[in-house]
Homo-oligomer: A and B are copies of this chain.
Amino acid sequence: MSRRPMVRPGGRSARVQEAVHTAVRELVAEVGRDALTVPQVATRAGVTPSTVYRRWGDLKELLSDVAVERLRPEAPPEDLGNLSADLTAWAEEFLDEMSSPPGRAYIRDALLGDPDGGNGGQCSAYAAEQIDVVLARAADRGETAPDVETVIDRVVAPMMYRILFRPDGLDPAYAHRLVTGLLTAGA
């Protein structure tokens, strides 16, 4: 990430990023991730290979950036009227998305082409922001709520650990149990 210049929305830098990210997504769908090369991506995006190398370093870092973009949440978590319902719904959806084959591929890409740890941190920040929204709503309702770091330890981390290290048998009931275990412990 340290190579990447600041991106002004609408500027040339933002247009290049958009074109290159789109090229990667299209080519991954067409030829598969393992056959992808930087010159191919550059041709499709209408830029020179050196533009890609200068900005992203190598293909792994480019795939990592594209993955982080794909993992960005599209909307705030649903408001179902109470903390337990909100957190359960969020956790079930998170587990469903992240444990899907594309979700797992994006997580791996994000972690692996990430020499300075910034992209892994960004993935975690996305989850923390969504949880913050859920917890702020609970506070507004006067509900007792744990802090965001506790939710990460008790709900996000176990789901992500099992997605990465032991993906068999994950289901919504697991997400539900984690949330119930946290909230009934009297946080």
A residues adjacent to B (C-beta < 8 A) = 108, 111-112, 117, 120-121, 123-124, 152-154, 156-158, 160-162, 164-167, 178, 185
Assess whether A166 is in contact with B124, with CB atoms less than 8 Å apart. Answer: yes
In whole Å, how far is A138's beta carbon from the nearest beta carbon of chain B?
21
User: What residues on B are CB-neighbors of A160 within 8 Å?
Assistant: 157, 161, 164-165
> How many copies of the polypeptide does the oligomer hold?
2
- Determine the main DSSP class of A at the interface with B: helix
In whole Å, how far is A129's beta carbon from the nearest beta carbon of chain B?
14
User: What residues on B are CB-neighbors of A166 within 8 Å?
Assistant: 120-121, 124
User: What residues on B are CB-neighbors of A157 within 8 Å?
Assistant: 157-158, 160-162
